Every structure is written in C-alpha cells, then in structure tokens.
Structure 1
Amino acid sequence: MYNDWFIKFAPSAYRKTRIKTTEDVESTLAKTANLTDVSPAVLRREPGVLPTLRMATCPPLAVDRLIGLAGISRNLVGCMERGTIPQRMNATLLERDLDRIGSIIERMADPDIFVWLGRRGAASEPEIHRAATIVADRLCGAVANPIIRNAQEKRQLAAIGAWLQMRGYRALPPKIMFDAMPPGTFGFRLNVPVKRQGPEGTKTINIPVDTVVMPKRGKAGDLPLLIEAKSAGDFTNVNKRRKEEAAKMTQLRVTYGAKVRFILFLCGYFDSGYLGYEAAEGIDWVWEHRIDELAEFGL
C-alpha cells in the first residue's frame, strides 16, 4: 500500500515543493544580482538568503563547513539560517563575517549552474530559471524524507477523518481542548498537556497528537482515544524513531494514569522489532489497510 502511494503521489508532492522552492531561489538570485553581489550590505538586508547560497556552491556547503571555511561566528550563521541578524553582535565583527561569507560564496559558486558568472553578458531568463531549479532540487533533496512523510501524514489523517465521518463523528475546530470534547467528535493535531520531570522539578508541557477521538459512548471523565499516524518507506528509519512514541506514552501515563489510550495508525515498513518495542510500552496499533479495526477501540 505504501509503495503504491509512493509511486503515484510522492513525485507530485516533491515537485510541488520544488516549484515553490524554485520561486524562492529565483527571488534570492534577484536580491544578489544573480549571484554577482553577495556583499555585506546585501546579506545584512537579506540574511534569509543564506540557505540558498550554501546550495549554490560547488560542492554545496553544510552549515558547519561554511563556518569552518570562513572562520565566522556560529551564532551569526544560525541566526541567518532563521532569517535574522544577531542584534547584539559587534558591528565591526558583523561586517567582517558577512564579508567572509560573501567571499566564500562568490569564490565557490558553481560555474556549471551559474553559467553567466565570469562572462560579460547578463544572465538570460532561461539560464536563471534552470539554475534556480537545480538549486531548488538541492534544497529539496536535503529534506526529501520530511516532504514525503508530511504528504503521507496528510493523506493518513484524511483517511481517518473520512472513516470517522462515515460513522457519524463530527470534526471539531483545531483549538478545542482535548479533555472538553463531547462524545462522537474528533480533532486533528491537538495539544495534550503532560507532566515532565526535569532538573528544576515537574513542569507541564504540551505534546501534539495527530488525531484525538471521543467515542460516541464516552462518559463524563472518560479520556479520548489518542491516535498517532506513522508511515515509513524503509525499516531502518522506524527503528531510529521508535523511542518517540514510547516517550509520549510514558508522559501520558504519568499524567493520566493507566487508563490513557494511545495507539498508532501505521502504513509502510514497520517490522517486528519496532512493533515489539511499542507493544512492550503498552502501545497498540492499527494498520491502515485494515482501518476498520479502529472500531475495536470503541469507535
């Protein structure tokens, strides 16, 4: 089921993201005069262009590699990656570091992509679009798995919602409190407050849950069913992520006791090692291709 979805829909999900990213890269090229002006003034005015500029070099530069090559402040690069400039950074040091960043980018700009660099003629529209598409593909390639995972999660939640509505359940607004849900309702991506023990004592934090359902036969004081949608395209990644759900279950149980119900809605490559680990934590699951088994949880 996962493979069929991947072949049919993952390419379009990736391309949709790449098209939007290409537009962002073209905007960066416009701001830097098509990579001919990466001056401190430009970087100070448009710090958010840095992630694109890192992907415009040959080879593309990771954050730590840029910091090492340029000998610059890690805090500066971290802020620029988020689209800001450090407010308290010494003006002289800021100017120096921005100049070093620009020098590295201009020196290492990929000549096979930005073919107009080093020639007299200006870049043509087709050349700019081609270069932007290549850089956008580099940017998307670095986050390909989250792009696919987000598209798959969106589809999984739609499947759960359709199944619940067919059985007479009603969707609630996103900001509804999970413990104030009337029977026969559900909500997506709700925050559930839990207690977490830390070095400074116990504090309350919110953990996001993909789907929260209050069964039709729910009574006052009953907790809703908590459902986490999970998909995976290979066995390796799931075993790296299996502790995430176990940690959530632990926090939920500490806060709400043994009566809390937290289950997984699975599609893809989840092996016995993953399932055994979750079962040991008291977490049950439903396979998406057997979605009707949700009814066994009182829905």
Structure 2
Amino acid sequence: MPVNLDKPQNWKADIAASVDMYNTWFMRFAPKAFRDTRVETTKSVEATLAATDNMRDIKPAILRRHPEVLSTLRMSTCPPLAVDRLIGLSGVSPNLVKTMEDDKRLPPRMSAALADEQLSKIGDIIEQLADPDIFVWLKRTEGPEPPEIHRAATIIADRLCGSVANPIIRNAQEKRQLEAIKRWLEARGYAQAPVGTLFDQMTAGTFSFRMNVPVKLEGLAQTVNIPVDAVIKPKGSPKGELPIFIEAKSAGDFTNTNKRRKEEAVKMSQLRSNYQTPTQQVRFNLFLCGYFDSGYLGYEAAEGIDWVWEHRIDDLAQFGI
C-alpha cells in the first residue's frame, strides 16, 4: 500500500516541514561538521608544509611518495589553481595530474624518469605561484615561526574545505539520517545484521547500512555492486522474500534535487530488472529530509518510488517494518 506517493494533497505541507527540519539541523550542526573537517584538514596541510620545507622546496621525490598532497598544493597558490589550469601552466600530462588528484597515485605505466621530469615542472609552478600573503616567510631569509605555519595551514584548509563544502555537509546529514533510522528500528526490537551478511541472507528482524547489492547491467556481462543506504528485513518476513531497500536523501536547495532525481529511478530499474519476479516485488523507497519539491516528488511517484519524510519517521511502519 502506498505511503506518500499517492497523496499529493499532503506534499506542500510536508515540503515546508522538511525544509524547516533541514534548516534547523543545518544551523545547529553543519558549522560543527565543517569545523571538525577543517581541523583534520589543517593537520594534513601542516604535514605537507613540513614535507616541502614550508613551500620552499617541492621536490619530485615528495610528490612521488605523497601524490595525495597535490590538491593541497593547488590551494596554496595565488590564485588557487584548478586542475586544468595547473595542467596548462606546467605542460604536463593530464593523465598524471588527474590520476594524482582522483586516485592519489602516479600513473602505473609512466616511467620513473618521465614522472620525475613532469613532477619537477609541477613543483616549479607551485613554488612560483605560492601565495606570499599566506606564506609570509617566503619574503625573508629566516624560516617561519610555529604560529605562522599553523595560520597558513588553517587558511589552506579553509580553501580545501570550501571547495568540497557540500559533500562535507551531505555526508554529515546522511550519517545523522542513518542514525535516526537505527534508533527507530532498535526501539522496535530490530538488530543490526552481522558485518558481511549478504542482502539475500538477512534474517527477519534485522537491518544493515551501506550494503552492496550485485546487479547485471543491461547488455553487459559483468556484475557490478550498487550501494544501498539501508536494507531492512521486516519481522515475520518469509524465507526468500527480498528485504526493503531505502535510500537516505537530503538536500539543502531545490536545484540539485531535480538534477539528481534520475539517480533513484536508475537504481530502482536495476534492482527490478535483476530481482523482481511475478511473485517477488522489489520494494525501494526514500527517506527524505530537506528541499524536495513537487517536481521531484512527482517524478519519483511516476517511477513507483515511495518515500518517508524524516519529520514523520513513524511512517516507516506503513512499509510493514
């Protein structure tokens, strides 16, 4: 039986309540989540400064051993350098820079000699453009004082965190949403499934988070895993019945939700094509908090995807949980 997808008369009030709930959470907890991440990032930046003689000597050997510092170095220049701008200025292989950024390693097929040559070019660009207003010691002969190093690291950390602010907030919100589901389930006698339990081996009355579900993509032979935020096997479920799949979704504005609304429909389609049978229904639902407008809700409803609002979490019981 549908819970919310067939009740458009309630959507306007629920949207307003959900926006209010998200905004309240954001004002109370998002700054702390951002600050906590910035503290850890500051420590990482300080380690990078120590390894590069406080931006005075960015050797290829350092970049080879620690390719993960490249994003920190890009944010240390004036102006900060985007990936493509660094590639253009240094004239190095795009594959080198993007592999360092995305995979935190050097391209495995690149020779050591060529890597060192190109890493040297990257180091030269960073040294030339190192921000003198942040690294004030670069203008003088004596080295930096500890407070100067910490101040510079904090500024660079703020730049790094600012460039990924939305993922930081989204991850903190998702963690909070899953904790809310966990509390609700445990209050009703559910237990978390042992680590390593497969979705089709769960026993009734158990749940799991961030579980991988294998699917075969249409037209392709290989199997891929699709992650599902919450997987719940209701009490009294007969053996062999599929658990309920739930995606925790949050959003701080209406624009991004409409850009991403097809993601859930694609996941639902993959699950259905692999596991739905005439006697076995795939139950895939959303757990929503934030800015989800009628356009988003109508799209999901048309795809047969139902949802529960976090401000009315007790609606989970209507899924038979």
Shorter-chain TM band: over 0.9
> Partner residue of 1:271?
293
Give the AA of the match of 1:111: P
The 5 A counterparts of 1:196-235 are 196-198=217-219, 201-235=220-254
Q: Which residue of 2 aligns with 1:246?
A: 265
Give the equivalent residue in structure 1 for 2:143: 122
3-state SS in 1 of match to 2:200: helix
Instruction: For residue 91 of structure 1, report the CA deviation from its aligned partner.
Output: 4.1
Distance 1:41 1:189, change over 3 A: closer
Q: Distance in 2 between matches of 1:37 and 1:112?
A: 18
| Rounded Cα–Cα distance in structure 1 between residues aligned with 2:243 and 2:111 | 53
**Residues 195/94 of structure 1: CA separation in 2 closer, same or farther (3 Å cut):** closer
Change (3 A) 1:183 1:88: closer
Q: Tell me by how many angstroms 1:75 deviates.
A: 1.7
Residues 106-185 of structure 1: matches in 2 within 5 Å?
Answer: 106-185=127-206
SS in 2 for 1:96: helix
Shift in Å at residue 221 of structure 1?
2.1
**Contact 1:174-1:188 at 8 Å conserved across structures:** no
Task: Determine the C-alpha separation between the residues in 1 that align with 2:159 and 2:206.
Answer: 42
Q: Report the AA paired with residue 265 of structure 1.
A: F
| Aligned-partner SS, 2:222 | strand
Say whether 1:12 aligns with 2:32.
yes
Identity %: 67
CA contact (8 A) 1:174 1:189 kept: no
**Which string of whole-angstrom CA distances, capped at 9 and with x for unpartnered residues, describes residues 205-235 of structure 1?**
2111111111112112211111110000000
- What is the count of residue pairs matched by the alignment? 297
- Taking the aligned partners of 1:40 and 1:182, their CA distance within structure 2 comes to 54
Residue type matched to 2:319 in 1?
Answer: F
Shift of 1:48: 2.3
Distance in 1 between the 2:113 and 2:198 partners? 50
Counterpart of 2:43 in structure 1 is: 23
CA distance in 2, matches of 1:156, 1:88: 42
| Residue 34 (str. 1) matches residue 54 (str. 2) | yes
Alignment-derived partner of residue 60 in structure 1: 80
Cα deviation for residue 96 of structure 1 reads 2.5
TM-score normalised by length of structure 1: 0.96
Where does residue 63 of structure 2 map in the other structure? Answer: 43
State the alpha-carbon separation in 1 of the partners of residues 253 and 122 from structure 2.
Answer: 38
Give the conservation status (yes or no) of the 8 Å contact 1:40–1:102: yes
Q: Which residue of 1 aligns with 2:97?
A: 77
Unaligned 5+ segments in structure 2 are 1-20
> How well do the aligned residues superpose, as a CA RMSD in angstroms?
1.3
Work out whether 1:257 is the aligned partner of 2:276.
yes
AA partner of residue 11 (structure 1)? P
1:265–1:287 CA contact under 8 A, matched in 2 = yes
Q: Is the 8 A contact 1:184 1:214 kept in 2?
A: yes
Q: Which runs of 5 or more residues in structure 1 are unaligned?
A: none
- 1:130-181 CA distances to partner (integer Å, 9 max, x unpaired)? 0000000111111111110110000100100111111111111232111111
Instruction: Tell me how far 1:4 sits from its aligned partner.
Output: 0.6
Question: Which sits farther off after the overlay, 254-263 or 37-46?
Answer: 37-46
TM-score computed with the length of structure 2 as normaliser: 0.89
Residue in 2 that maps onto 1:93: 114
